[in-house]
A and B are shown apart, each in its own frame.
Chain A
Amino acid sequence: MEKPSEPKKINFLSLLTKDQDFLRLMTITVAVFVAMSLMRPKLFLTVNNFTSMGYQIAELGFFSLAMMMVMITGGRDLSMVGISNLSGIIAALVLHNAYLKELSGINLWISIAAAFLIAIAVGIACGLFNGLIVSSLGVPPMLVTLGTLNLFTGIGIILTRGEAISKFPAEFLYFGNHTFLSVPIPLWLLIGALILTGVILNKTRYGFELKFIGSNYIASLFAGMRNKKVLMRTYIYSGILSAIIGMEVLSRTDSAKADFGTNYTFQAILCAVLGATNPNGGYAKVSCMALSLVTLQFLSSGFSMLRLGGYFKEFAWGVMLLLALTSNYLIEKRKLKKSLSIYSNKTQKKSLKA
């Protein structure tokens, strides 16, 4: 994860001075990195460790991106993992078929491409379903996506009868298990998604409207924003991201299961909140999210190396989420105080002059 962040170094100094959130996260990331390197230098500072972290980070990264986008609208998408598994399962049915028929050459590649397209179509359909209900019914997105999580997972269970589907063509398994330029392919996908999301958020009309809607839904409605359309697109985007990572999981693990990775929802929320996303909507930053992702991965691998079990991790994630929320709150409060005090100083000076 160190390498891809290098091209950003050009405007690093200006970022450091300007962006407090980024600076704060950078400090945390570096501190965690140094701490883990000091505690387990022989295990942590190895190429193998970084490669394996690269594979692991991709999944959480996609889910966190999807969660971040929905969080900007002030909602939560709890059905991401369901969408990812469902699209993985439907693609798995196609690919398993290809494996059984022992397809090769052009036919094989056609079926792999078809599997990808079908998975993404499923992601779009699920996202559209979420978006339609959320934007037209006016019920809290959290409850809607809790319901659709059960629905999507349930459909997945029905399709697989609760069992795992496995055995796919080796050509398909390649992309989840190999590196390109010594960086894991899933990580390349994540980097692409991060850049794309950053561009969408900062350079497009949709991104602008998205943030506007998140900070004030009614005001944006009066300002002539296409609220429902934007909400719909956001859930579809989240669905597409989930579907892509569903394919990655399928390729990496060589199996599709309806209840894979249910922990990711919570970790994605943690990652987004730690990455300075405002859970009430309206503000998010891709660079900060990427840093918090790296921090969490360092910690997760570090905990494993320190032989602290999964239960301890769960405890630590809970503590971290509450700490991140609290520190965001305190920083906001201080900012508010500062701006208020500047304001009151000005008014005092004015009154003195008068």
Chain B
Amino acid sequence: MKRLLKNNEFTVAIIIAITWLIFGIVNPDIISLANVYSITRASIISATFALACMLVIISGGIDMSFFAVGCVAMYVTVKYLVDRAMLDTPLFLIFAAAIIIGIILELINWFFIDKLNLPPFIVTIGSQSLYKGFLLAFVGTTYITTMPKGMRKLAVTYVSSTTSSSGIVYNLHFLVIVVAAMYIIMHIVLNFTRFGRNIYAIGADVAAAQRAGINISRTRFLVFLIAGAIAGVGGVFQGTLNRAAVPADLVGQELLVIAAVVLGGGGGKQARGSVLGTALGVILLSLISNNLILMKVPSYWQQAVTGIIILIGLIIQSTEAISKL
């Protein structure tokens, strides 16, 4: 039990349970399956990007540009296809194109961070501005609403559905399953492969990792490559769920995703993030942000509440770090 209490994931899980319970007492609708379905759908995007961000944070860096990368990857791909009236392009090709663009953009980050040894936060906040500005100044600023057929089909693919007490049908979106699969794969990679352990090692102490014979540069290369691929996928998810390609509509909201990773244990001075923790962090944040309205809390409270939760997450972790000493 003591070990469990010290476990960060366990703490977050308890916070989720308590919040859920309090919310449920105030408004019983929140505990319904319909609400669970709508929360999962609302958290698909942040869950996907959180995975990319978590990987970079575990490796000892930070990424502020993942939304910009995702948006560029999605918008450029969709615009290319729509401009040439290639709306029948199969879905996997769309994903492949977005993934390639995402990888290229994240590898630019990698070059500056690893090869020139520059601070990751400043590099990625610069590239965020660069990518967003590039997209809006040179590619386009218009909303594209005639999406490729594959994406339109994906947007309405559901696994199961339920009817709420008020008679509205809620569906469990197919992409929830895809995201869950991505999380499971990432968990296996991080915990049961040498590459995964290497990421934790360079995140904890670069010099020690180097002396242990880990190829720092190559590990970081792979980290940014995977992060770019996930960001590209996340961009296509965003376009799909929006049913429109909106340039750079997520950029500037990176904080919520980073907060999820931090809540899940990625916020300490030494890298400790975990896949389970990140998943719980995403769930907690979307639980709160989606249900404050059902709780009859005015929507303008949302930002302050988010800030308080991040700070609480940081404080919980630091007391853990102190008790370990």
Contact = CB atoms under 8 A, between A and B. Distances in A.
Contacts of B112: 322, 325-326
A155 B121 CA distance: 26
A321 B126 contact: yes
A69 B267 CA distance: 23
B301 interface: yes
Interface stretch (A111-119, A133-141, A199-207): A133-141
Contacts of A319: 130
A68 to B, nearest CB: 13
A311 B268 CA distance: 35
A65 B39 CA distance: 42
B67 interface: no
A139 B126 contact: no
Contacts of A148: 307, 311
A155 B304 contact: yes
A142 B306 contact: no
A153 B127 contact: no
Contacts of B130: 314-315, 318-319, 321-322
Contacts of B259: 146-147
A137 B314 contact: yes
Interface string A313-330: 111111101100110010
A76 interface: yes
Given A262-B252, A325-B116, A147 B307 contact: yes
Contact of A273 (B122, B318, B321): B122
A279 B318 contact: no
Interface stretch (A4-12, A24-32, A157-165): A157-165
B317 A325 contact: no
Interface in A122-151: 133, 137-140, 142-144, 146-151
A107 interface: no
Nearest to A152: B307
A208 interface: no
A264 interface: no
Contact of A280 (B119, B123, B311): B119
A147 B259 CA distance: 8
Contacts of A321: 122, 125-126, 129-130
B311 A325 contact: no
A321 B112 CA distance: 11
Contacts of B138: 315
B303 A269 contact: no
A314 B259 CA distance: 25
B262 interface: yes
A140 B130 CA distance: 25
A287 to B, nearest CB: 22
A174 interface: no
Interface in A258-297: 262, 266, 269-270, 273, 279-280
Given A155-B304, A318-B126, A321-B126, A326 B310 contact: no
Nearest to A259: B303
B126 A322 contact: yes
B158 interface: no
A256 B136 CA distance: 29
A110 B123 CA distance: 46
Contact of A144 (B127, B305, B314): B314
B106 to A, nearest CB: 14
B307 A154 contact: yes
B314 A154 contact: no
B119 A150 contact: no
Contacts of B303: 150, 153-154, 157
B310 A147 contact: yes
Nearest to B130: A318
Contacts of B311: 133, 144, 147-148, 151
A155 B307 CA distance: 10
A315 B129 contact: yes
A224 interface: no
B129 A266 contact: yes
B133 A326 contact: no
B137 A315 contact: yes
B238 interface: no
Interface in A220-277: 262, 266, 269-270, 273
B186 to A, nearest CB: 22
A154 B292 CA distance: 14
B17 interface: no
A215 B112 CA distance: 22
Given A140-B267, A158-B301, A146 B310 contact: yes
Interface of A: 76, 133, 137-140, 142-144, 146-155, 157-158, 161-162, 262, 266, 269-270, 273, 279-280, 309, 311-319, 321-322, 325-326, 329
Nearest 5 CB-CB pairings of A with B: A154-B304, A318-B130, A315-B133, A150-B307, A151-B307
17 contacts: A139-B317, A146-B259, A150-B306, A153-B307, A154-B303, A154-B307, A158-B301, A269-B122, A273-B122, A311-B133, A312-B137, A315-B132, A318-B133, A321-B122, A321-B125, A322-B130, A325-B122
